[in-house]
Structure 1
Amino acid sequence: MQDDGKNRLIVDIFGQQYRLTGRASVNHMRMVAGYVNDKMKEISAGNRRLDTTKIAVLAAVNITDEYFRLRQEYEELLRILQEDARRHVNSG
Structure 2
Amino acid sequence: MDIRAVVKVRILGEEYTLRTEASPEHTKAVAEHVDRTIRAILSGSSTMETQKAAILAALQVTDELFREHVAMESLTNDMKQLAADIRPLLPPAKRGEEPGAA
| TM-score, with length taken from structure 1 | 0.91
Whether the aligned pair in 1 keeps the contact of 2:42 and 2:48 (CA below 8 Å) is: yes
Q: Count matched residues.
A: 90
* Aligned mates of 1:90, 1:68 — CA distance in 2: 34
* Aligned mates of 1:7, 1:59 — CA distance in 2: 25
**Structure with larger Rg:** 2
1:56-75 CA distance string (max 9 Å, x none):
00000000111111111111
What is the CA distance between 1:27 and its match in structure 2? 0.6
Q: Displaced runs of 4+ in structure 1, greater than 3 A? A: none
Any stretches of 5+ residues in structure 2 without a counterpart? 91-102
RMSD: 1.3
What is the CA distance between 1:40 and its match in structure 2? 0.5
| TM-score, with length taken from structure 2 | 0.83
What fraction of aligned residue pairs are identical, expressed as a percent? Answer: 31
* Aligned mates of 1:79, 1:48 — CA distance in 2: 45
Give SS of 2:52's match: helix
Alignment of 1:28-47 (within 5 A): 28-47=26-45
Whether the aligned pair in 1 keeps the contact of 2:4 and 2:21 (CA below 8 Å) is: yes
